[in-house]
Structure 1
Amino acid sequence: MCSIKTLLLVFLLSIASVQIYAQTQESSIVARAEAIEKAKENELTSAEKNIFAAVERVGKYKKKLEELDESFQTASGEAKESLILQRLDTYDKLVAELRELTALAVTYREGGGEPQVLLAEFRSNLLNAGRKLRASLDEHLQEYAANNTDRDTATPEGLKSYTFDTRLIDMGFSLLEEYVKVVEGVGYNAKPSRNYLQQEIPKRADLLVGQIRLNAEREQEYAALLKINKDDAEVLNKQRLLSDKSNTDTESLQLLIGVGEDVGLDVASYRQLLVKTTGSISADLMDLNVLSGLFHEWWLSAKHSMRENLVDFIIRVVVFIAIIMFFRIMATFIKRLLLRSMKSASVKLSLLMQEMMTSMVSRIVMLLGLLVALAQVGVSLGPVLAGLGVVGFVIGFALQDTLGNFAAGVMILIYRPYDTDDFVEAAGVFGKVKSMNIVSTTILTIDNQTLIIPNSKIWGDVIKNVTAQKVRRVDMTFGVSYGDDIPHTEAVLHDIVTSHEKVLKSPEPMIKLHNLGDSSVDFVVRPWAKTEDYWDVYWDITREVKMRFDAEGISIPFPQRDVHFYREEGAATLPPEAKPSAT
C-alpha cells in the first residue's frame, strides 16, 4: 500500500513533468496551445517561471520520497527508524513547497493571470489526485483502528507504532488540506475533498478527545500508585510513556483544529478541551466562543459543587474564621504579656527593640494560626510550605537591597545607637525618631516633615544622637567691647547663669574670657542642663545677657575697622572729605 505522500507526489509529479515544454495534442484548446508555445519560446513571465520552479521542487521531493519508500520496504531496526525520520523531514519540506505553490498561484491570479489555463493540461490529473489522497487516508484510518485492537501503548514498541500511525494520519489530513488550497488557488473546484475533511475531522477529533480523557484518568491512577511507592520503576516507566502518548494525542488534535478551522468547522469545543488538559491559554487557542464555553462549564461545575457541598463548605468557613479569631486573641495576649515582661526593671531593651519583638511575635502567631486554619479546612500544607520556600528564595534574590536594610535594622536594634523620641542626625537628616521597622526608620524633622530613611543608609553613615545623654552642656559665646570692664562683665555673666533655675549646679558652669577678637573681647559661657531643658536654657540666657548688658552699660560691639591715610612729601593736599576718619 503506497503512502499518502507517494500518492500526492504522483499528482505533483504529473504537474512537475509539465508537458507544456514537450509536445502538444491536436485536440488541445487554444489557450493551452498558447501556453505551450510561450514555454517553447521561453517567453514565460516571472510569475509563471516561479510557478513552474515550485512545481519542479515538489517533483524533486516526490522523487526523494519514492526512494525512501523503496528503502523502507526492506529496512529493519535502526535503519528503519532512521528512514521514518527522513520521510517525516521530507514531508515537512513537501508541505512547505505546496504552501509556496499555493501562494504563487493565488498571487498570479490576483495579478490578472489564469493559473487554470496555465495548468489546464493537468486538470484531470489534479482532480484524480484528490480521490487518491482520500482513499489513502481512509486506508490509514482503518489500519489505525485495526492496530489499536491489540496494541499496548504502555510498552515502548506499542507507543512507537501508535505514534507512527498517528503521524501518518496527521500527514494525510495536512496533505489533503494543502491539496484543497492548491486546487482552489489554481481556480478549480475542490468541493469533494473539502466535504471529506468536514466529515472525517469531527470523527477523528472525537476519537482523540476520548484518548486524551483516558490518558488523564490513567495519569491519576499512576499518581495514586506512586503515592504508595514513589520508587516503583514499572509505574514510573508507564507514566513516562503515557506522557509521551498524551503529547502525541494533543499535538494531533491541535493539527486537526487548525485544518478544521481552515475548512469552516466549529472547533471551539476541541479548543476548550485543550485549554483544560494542557493549561495553555495562548492567543491562537482562544477566542470568544472558547472563553464563553469554558466560563459556562466552570459555572455549572461551581453550581453543582456548591449544591452538593454547601453545608460542608459553610462548616469549613466557620471553622476557618473561628481559628483565625482565636489566634488573633492569642497574639494580642502574647503581645501584651511580652511587652509587660520587657518593661520590667531587670530587662533593659530599647523601645525600638520592644516594638519590633512584640510585632514579630504577633505576626508569627498569626501566621501559625493561618496555617492551622488552612490545614483544618483540608488544604495540604506540604505544597504550601514548599511554595513559600521557593517564593522566598526568588523574592530574596530580587530584593537584595531590602535584605541589606534588614541586616542594618538588626544591627541597629542590637547596638541601639538611638531610640524612639531621640533627636538624631543621620544620613544627612536631623530630627526626632518617630518609629522604626526592620527595613526603615521614620524621622520627624524640626519643621514637622516625615522622612522615611532606609536602615542601610543610617547604619552606613555617622549617627549623631543629641539626646542620648541625660545632661548636656550649653555652649554660648558673648562679645564685649575693648573698653568694658572685664571683672564686671564676668560677674554679670556669672549672676545670670547661676540665677537660672534650670542650670545645674553640678557640673559647675564655666565662664571664661576666651578670645581677643578683631572687634570684641569674647567670653565663653558653658552651663550644664538636662537634655530636655537645653533650648530653654540657651534662649533664656541669651535674652537675659542682652537685657543685663544694656542695664549695666556693657556694650556688644559690631565689627569695625580703622582706615588711616598718609601723605608723602610733595603730594597734593587732600580734600576735606578725604581726611582720615574712623569707622
Structure 2
Amino acid sequence: MLFPRLRRLVRALPMLCVFVCLCVYAQSENPPTTSLEPNYSEEELRILAAAERVESNKAKLEALDAAYKKSSGETSESIVLQRLDTYDSLIKELREFTSLVGDYKNGGGTPDHLLGDFNEEMLNTGRSLRADIRTYLSRYNENSIERDTATADGLRSYIFDNRLLDMGFRLLSEYVAVIEQLEFSAAPSRRFLMSEVPLRADSLSGQIRLNTERLNEAKALLSIKKDDADVLEKQRLATEKQESDTHSLLLIIDIAEKLELDVSRYRQLLLRTTGEISADLIGSNVLSGLFYDWWISVKQSVGTTLANFMIKAGVFLGILLVFHGIATLVSRVLLRSLTSGSVNLSVLMQDMLTSMTARLIMLLGLLVALAQVGVSLGPVLAGLGVVGFVIGFALQDTLGNFAAGVMILVYRPYDVDDFVEAAGVFGKVRSMNIVSTTVLTIDNQTLIIPNSKIWGDVIKNVTAQKVRRVDMTFGIGYSDDVEHAERILADIVEENEKVLQSPEPMIKLNALGESSVDFIVRPWAKTEHYWDVYWEVTREVKMRFDREGITIPFPQRDVHIYQQSKD
C-alpha cells in the first residue's frame, strides 16, 4: 500500500513545483502596495489638494477655450463670461497654493517631490496666457476701428473687451508671482508684462483724457440746454466709460508696481480727473468670495491698505488744518471790523457772528476734505436733510430757543456784562449762544437760562443806561429842625465825588409819617458807581445826624400795666 502512494506523490511533484514557481512569480510582479505607498503629512496633502484644484480649473479653461473657438454670437460672449469666473477661481486657488507652498518651505520642507509634473505644466501655462493676451489685444484693436463708444452698443462692446484684457493681464501677473515664489524662472512672462503693461497704461490714460473732454463738453452743453435728453445720455455713457477705464488703469497700476515700473504720472492723471486720492483698489469679486480673498492675501495687501489709509488721513487732516487757519484769520478780521467805531453791534452779536463764521468755514472744510478722500457728498447732504427734518420735529423746544436767541440778537435787550432781571433771575450776563444765556448771580452762582424763557418774560436791564438815579429816603423827628436837616443832606450829596452835578440832585421833604418826617434824596451817578454812592451817602447821613443832634426816629411801643384790686 505504501509504494503505490509513493509512486503517485512522485508523479505529482513536478506539477507542485510549477505551481509554487507561478505563485512566487506572481508575488514578485505584484508586490504589496502598502509597503511602497508614500506616507504624506496633512500639510503635504493640502498642497496636493490645492495643486489638483489648480489643475481642475486649468482643465475647465481648456474646455471653455475649445468651446469658444467653435461658438459665435451670444454663445461666444456667454463662454467668455464663464471664463472670467473660472479665471477668478483659478487666481484664488493659485494664491492658496502659493501660500501653502511658502509655509511648507518656511517650515523646512522641500516641495519638489510633491509637485511632480505640476512644475512643468505651470511653466507651459505662461505661454498659453501670453497667447490669450495677444488674442484679446487683436480683438480689441479690430473692434476699435468701427466701434463708437458714444453709443450704448459700442460702449458695451468696449467694456467687454476691456474686461477680457484686465482678466488676461491680471492672471499673467498672478502666474508670474506664483512661479517666482516657487523659485522657478518666469522670465518670458515677466518680459512680456514689462513691455505690454506700459502700452496698456498709456492706452487707458488716453481714453481717460478723452472721457474727461467728453464730460466737460456735456457739462458745457447742459449749462445751455438744461435737461436735454441726448446730452444727458452722452454724459451718462461718458461717465460709465470713465469708471470702466479708471478701474482698468488702477488694475494696471497695481501690476506695474509689482514689476517696479514708474506709475507716478498715471496716479497724477487719476488725481486730476477723478479728484479721488487712492493707492490701489482690491479686484472686484462676488461678495461671498471677498472675505476669502482677503484672508489668503492679507499679508500682501496690508501694506498697501495701510499706505492708502495714511495718505487719505494725511490729506484729510491737512485740509482741516488749512481751513482751521482760514477760519481763525477770518474771525480775527471780522471781529476787528465789528469792534470798530463804524459798526454799532452788541458784544453778543459780535461773538455770535465771529463764532458762526468760523463754524461755517470749518463745515465747508469738512465737506471739502470728505470729497477729497472719495466720500460722495450727494448722499451725505441728502441724509443731513432727512436727519435735520427728524431732529427739527423732535426738538421743537430747542428750535423755539433758537428763534428766541435770534430775536435777542436782533433787538439787543441786553449785552455781555449787563445786570439783568429776567425769568425770575437777577445777575450779570456772562455769555450767550443761540439757545441759552449764561447769567452769574450776585452771590456767584452760574445759571443757564433757555432763551425762550427770557424772551417770553419781562426783561429788566439794570445797567443798560450809563447813568442811574440813586433813590434814598431818610427820616427825622418831628422836634428836629427841617431846614437844618435839609442843609446837611445837601452838603453830604455835594461833597461826594461820585455824585454827578448834571442831572441835578433832588432833596425834598416827601412825607409826614406816623413817627418821622421823611426826606427823599435822589442824586445821579454813573451806573458802575451806583452802589458806592448809595452806601457812602447812607453812612455819611447817619454819622452827620449823630454829630448835629438830629434824631432818626424809630417805632416805639409803650406798655401800660393796670392792676385791679380783688375787692
Q: Does 1:181 align with 2:183?
A: no
Q: State the match for 2:157 in structure 1.
A: 161
Q: State the match for 2:203 in structure 1.
A: 207
Tell me the TM-score normalized by structure 2. 0.57
Using the TM superposition, name which of 126-135 and 227-236 deviates more: 227-236
Contact 1:440 1:454 in 2 (8 A): yes
CA deviation map 1:132-185 (0-9, x unaligned): 111121111111111111112222222111111111111111111111111112
Query: Is there any run of 5+ residues in structure 2 with no aligned partner, and where?
Result: 1-32, 282-303, 312-336, 354-377, 494-503, 555-567
What are the within-5 Å matches in structure 2 for residues 265-414 of structure 1? 265-284=261-280, 407-412=403-408
Amino acid at match of 1:175: L
- Find the aligned partners of 2:125 and 2:92 in 1 and give their Cα distance: 18
Return the match for 1:244 from 214, 234, 240. 240
Tell me the TM-score normalized by structure 1. 0.56
Closer/same/farther in 2, CA of residues 125 and 439 from structure 1, 3 Å limit: closer
Q: State the match for 1:548 in structure 2.
A: 545
- Secondary structure (helix, strand or coil) at the match of 2:118 reads helix
Q: State the match for 1:44 in structure 2.
A: 40
Q: State the match for 1:31 in structure 2.
A: none
Q: State the match for 1:508 in structure 2.
A: 510
- Find the aligned partners of 1:460 and 1:68 in 2 and give their Cα distance: 81
- Find the aligned partners of 1:413 and 1:250 in 2 and give their Cα distance: 52
Q: State the match for 1:125 in structure 2.
A: 121
Contact 2:404 2:451 in 1 (8 A): yes
Q: State the match for 2:216 in structure 1.
A: 220
- Find the aligned partners of 1:159 and 1:194 in 2 and give their Cα distance: 31
Residue 212 of structure 1: how far off its partner (Å): 1.6
For the aligned residue pairs, the C-alpha RMSD in angstroms reads 5.5
Contact 1:225 1:235 in 2 (8 A): yes
- Secondary structure (helix, strand or coil) at the match of 1:170 reads helix
Contact 2:208 2:242 in 1 (8 A): yes
Corresponding pairs, count: 416
Closer/same/farther in 2, CA of residues 135 and 148 from structure 1, 3 Å limit: same
Using the TM superposition, name which of 422-431 and 245-254 deviates more: 422-431
CA deviation map 1:196-242 (0-9, x unaligned): 11011111111112222222222233333334423332232222112
Q: State the match for 2:316 in structure 1.
A: none
Residue 69 of structure 1: how far off its partner (Å): 6.3
Closer/same/farther in 2, CA of residues 476 and 140 from structure 1, 3 Å limit: same
Using the TM superposition, name which of 88-97 and 263-272 deviates more: 88-97
Closer/same/farther in 2, CA of residues 242 and 37 from structure 1, 3 Å limit: farther
- Find the aligned partners of 2:149 and 2:539 in 1 and give their Cα distance: 100
Contact 1:512 1:524 in 2 (8 A): no
- Find the aligned partners of 1:529 and 1:510 in 2 and give their Cα distance: 22
Amino acid at match of 1:156: A
Contact 1:115 1:187 in 2 (8 A): no
Q: State the match for 1:348 in structure 2.
A: none
- Secondary structure (helix, strand or coil) at the match of 1:280 reads coil
- Percent identity over the alignment is 47
- Find the aligned partners of 2:477 and 2:402 in 1 and give their Cα distance: 58
Amino acid at match of 1:238: K
Amino acid at match of 1:545: K
Residue 554 of structure 1: how far off its partner (Å): 6.0
Contact 2:162 2:248 in 1 (8 A): yes
Q: Does 1:195 align with 2:197?
A: no
- Secondary structure (helix, strand or coil) at the match of 2:117 reads helix
Amino acid at match of 2:506: L
Amino acid at match of 1:169: L
Closer/same/farther in 2, CA of residues 282 and 199 from structure 1, 3 Å limit: same
- Find the aligned partners of 1:83 and 1:90 in 2 and give their Cα distance: 10
Closer/same/farther in 2, CA of residues 177 and 551 from structure 1, 3 Å limit: same
Contact 2:246 2:270 in 1 (8 A): yes
CA deviation map 1:276-330 (0-9, x unaligned): 2222223559999xx9xxxxxxxxxxxxxxxxxxxxxxxxxxxxxxxxxxxxxxx
Contact 1:492 1:548 in 2 (8 A): no
Residue 56 of structure 1: how far off its partner (Å): 3.4
- Find the aligned partners of 1:477 and 1:62 in 2 and give their Cα distance: 114
Q: State the match for 1:93 in structure 2.
A: 89
Residue 529 of structure 1: how far off its partner (Å): 4.7
Closer/same/farther in 2, CA of residues 498 and 226 from structure 1, 3 Å limit: closer
- Find the aligned partners of 1:246 and 1:39 in 2 and give their Cα distance: 61
Amino acid at match of 1:46: E
- Find the aligned partners of 1:182 and 1:477 in 2 and give their Cα distance: 107
Residue 552 of structure 1: how far off its partner (Å): 2.6
